[in-house]
Amino acid sequence: MKIDIEIIEKVLDDKATPEEVKMVVEWFSEEEGHDFLSQYITDELKGLTEEKAMSWLDHDVPERRMKARFLNQIKQSKKKNFRRKLLVAAVMIPLLFLSISVTFLAGRAGIFSETKYVEVFVPCGERMQVMLQDGTVVLLNSDTKLRYPKKFGLFNRTVELSGEGYFDVAKMKSAPFIVDLKGVSVEVTGTKFDVKSYAGDQKVWVALKEGGVRLKDDKRLEYSLVPGDRVEYDRISGKCSVERMDSFEEVTAWRNNSLNFYLTPLADILKVLERQYDAHFMVKDSLLLNSRFTLSTTKVNVDDVLQDLEMVSHIVFRKMNDGRYEVIFKKE
């Protein structure tokens, strides 16, 4: 695919239509577009004059102070490494000019402009698919919030997630994709993975289908995953464990209206049912919450799911007048 230079100029000048922006961003994520962007920046830098670059700044550059400080340093050590000092002097102006040029280019790309964010919230009982400006597709599970910028920067793409999402990230080596989970983050360049990090949960789960990701915490510890890995991170203890999955589809069964539990505590099962079906439960006997059950179902109606759970457990669900379900011990 070849993009007309006039369209690229319109995007950089923030004058393009949403369709043109989407087309150019998708092309930049490809190898051909990425190489073009690198060469374009190089050509822009070569074509700039110092006078023109200075005119783009809205403040004075303290060149005299920088020069005076540099000359003073030369006088103090005039007898040592004089040739090396002259070399440093020779590169100071090019470096200053380069910083001005980068400031200009970054400004054209919108890096230093005020970032505007979009927040998407998926209520209990629903799911939603979101396509980001770089071509990344995110499928959000129930009771999930995603916050992302309308425009990504040139060097990173960061979104915030609270809940569960399946990410199919557009490849862009120059701009890693980061999922901020508040204290924990997932960093990738292009891959397919599932993240589960609800606000009320102590643990974070990341499952990798393709590519590679790194899980980072606020203690600067990193954990790398390869396809087929699933990591479980405890926010309180900081403990992290990585295991091999039998099937990635089992982890993301929620995408197809499926539920899979293996020796899962009832407390966790009910939490999932509340999110998936917007159902509410009352458990008087707290000991029941520690009971573990195994269940696999594709039922789309919550009453049918509860009926399946009753068949593999020692509990009964009784619907009350207020719409909640009372969970009681099944009498033999």
pTM above 0.85, yes or no: no
| Structural domain count, the chain | 3
Is 81 a residue whose pLDDT tops 50? no
Domain boundary among 222, 246, 270: 246
Q: Could you tell me if residue 61 is inside a domain?
A: yes
301 contacts: CB under 8 Å, gap ≥ 6: none
Long-range contacts of 152-155 (CB under 8 A, 24+ apart): 153/109, 153/111, 154/106, 154/109, 154/111
User: Do residue 191 and residue 103 come from a single domain?
Assistant: no
Q: What is the pLDDT of residue 85?
A: 37
- Burial zone of 132 (CB within 10 Å; 0-12 exposed, 13-18 middle, 19+ buried): buried
User: Do residue 44 and residue 137 come from a single domain?
Assistant: no
Q: Which residue has the higher pLDDT, 97 or 42?
A: 42
Q: Which residue has the higher pLDDT, 210 or 111?
A: 210
Q: Could you tell me if residue 252 is inside a domain?
A: no
User: Do residue 127 and residue 240 come from a single domain?
Assistant: yes
User: Do residue 69 and residue 122 come from a single domain?
Assistant: no
Domain boundary among 108, 141, 173: 108
Q: Could you tell me if residue 154 is inside a domain?
A: yes
By residue range, what is the domain housing residue 210? 117-246
DSSP, residue by residue, 89-115: HHHHHHHHHHHHHHHHHHHHTTSSSPP
The secondary structure of the chain in percent helix, strand, coil, rounded to multiples of 5, reads 35, 30, 35
How many CB atoms neighbour CB 110 within 10 A?
A: 19
Q: What is the pLDDT of residue 189?
A: 79
- Mean pLDDT score, 259-283: 90
Domain boundary among 189, 219, 246: 246
CB 182, CB 160: distance < 8 Å: yes
Give the residue among 100, 92, 94, 96 at the shortest CA–CA distance from 73.
92
| Reported confidence tier of residue 51, pLDDT bands at 50, 70, 90 | low
Average pLDDT, the chain: 78
Q: Could you tell me if residue 172 is inside a domain?
A: yes
Q: Could you tell me if residue 251 is inside a domain?
A: no
| Reported confidence tier of residue 269, pLDDT bands at 50, 70, 90 | very high
Q: What is the pLDDT of residue 232?
A: 94
Q: Could you tell me if residue 204 is inside a domain?
A: yes
Q: Which residue has the higher pLDDT, 58 or 316?
A: 316
User: Do residue 100 and residue 130 come from a single domain?
Assistant: no
- Mean pLDDT score, 95-108: 43
Q: What is the pLDDT of residue 298?
A: 82
Q: Could you tell me if residue 91 is inside a domain?
A: yes
User: Do residue 180 and residue 198 come from a single domain?
Assistant: yes
Q: What is the pLDDT of residue 95?
A: 41
Alpha carbon distance 312, 294 (integer Å): 7
| Reported confidence tier of residue 102, pLDDT bands at 50, 70, 90 | very low
- Mean pLDDT score, 70-81: 45
CB 7, CB 24: distance < 8 Å: yes
User: Do residue 176 and residue 102 come from a single domain?
Assistant: no
pLDDT digits (tens, 9 = 90+) for 115-145: 789 999 999 988 999 999 888 999 999 999 9
Dihedral of CA atoms 228, 197, 323, 294 in degrees, nearest 10, equals 30
Residue 314 has what DSSP assignment?
Answer: S
User: Do residue 185 and residue 267 come from a single domain?
Assistant: no
| Reported confidence tier of residue 193, pLDDT bands at 50, 70, 90 | very high
Q: Give the angle subtended at the CA of 180 by the CAs of 178 and 181, to the nearest 5°.
A: 140
User: Do residue 96 and residue 180 come from a single domain?
Assistant: no
Biggest CA–CA distance in the chain, Å, is: 97
User: Do residue 13 and residue 126 come from a single domain?
Assistant: no
HSE (side-chain half, CA atoms, 13 Å) at 331: 0
246 three-class SS: coil
- Mean pLDDT score, 258-284: 90
CB 150, CB 117: distance < 8 Å: yes
Is 80 a residue whose pLDDT tops 50? no
